[in-house]
Amino acid sequence: MPVKNTASALGEAIGKLIEDELENILRPICEEYKYIYDRGGSRPRKRKGVSLNMINASGNKYKLDAIIENPDENPVILIESKYLRYKKHNRDKASWTCASHYSLRKTHPTVRKSIAVLSGRWSEPSKVFLQSFGIEFHHIDFPLMCAVMNEFGMDFDWPEDNQDIPDSSWNRFSSLSSEERQELSRRLVNPVRSDLSTSIITTIESGEDWPQRLQELELLLKTDRNEYFTKSFPSTRETIEYLLTLQEESQDLRGRLSGDEKNRKS
């Protein structure tokens, strides 16, 4: 059946190649440490269907690209692979990743790291936005992707309203052998291969010694009126001291919740 939107089809195909190569890189690492690289598919003891979903405390379901689990089958690392051709979609894609991962980390305390493998045109503000939500990113930039695709006979950089170039590139992609596609995927992912592997290995090997490496503590307070207050502290001691100030019986804690030092000491 002819492909109507070759530009979209080629983008999806390249995104799939990148996801396949990420699995080729990370699955052997996980197996070496007796961890599990879950990318979906049939898993009778874990899920009924084939989609890789996680559910937060509110019952919301999120579809993920990959999860790394420890030997007890608890999630440790969440992985997303996101390809974008146009920067105008940056905020939507980044916001979804931030919201879903943050919510899932709150619900599943065994999750120690969130990773986004970004490919294509991602703006600096979007990358900073991801980092602000504690998501580590690895970026395969668009010029490099275009250079690699060009070596395989495909023009990957076309105007948004052009149809001839994506048609030609899709036809060329369709003619690639399985070996050529594997080589293409390796070349595309090469820029992030080493850093990504190191990040996964470091997280797995660090085990449960994370309390010794605390850099910042974030405290989320929720009232019976669905009001939220977020506080950050540089140490466990200061967090506990602050929590102790909230134990005192008082009709008005507004000063303490807003960070008013004078009220906190009263």
Residue 109 CA: distances (Å) to CA of 71, 104, 105, 240 = 16, 9, 6, 20
- Tell me the pTM: 0.82
User: pLDDT tens per residue, the chain (266 residues)?
Assistant: 578 899 999 999 999 999 999 999 999 999 999 999 999 988 888 888 898 999 998 889 999 999 999 999 999 999 999 999 987 778 788 999 999 999 999 899 999 999 999 999 999 999 999 998 889 999 999 999 999 999 999 999 999 889 999 999 999 999 999 999 999 999 999 999 999 999 999 999 987 666 777 778 888 787 887 777 888 888 888 888 888 888 765 555 555 555 554 444 44
Q: What angle do CA 107, 113, 118 make, to 5 degrees?
A: 115
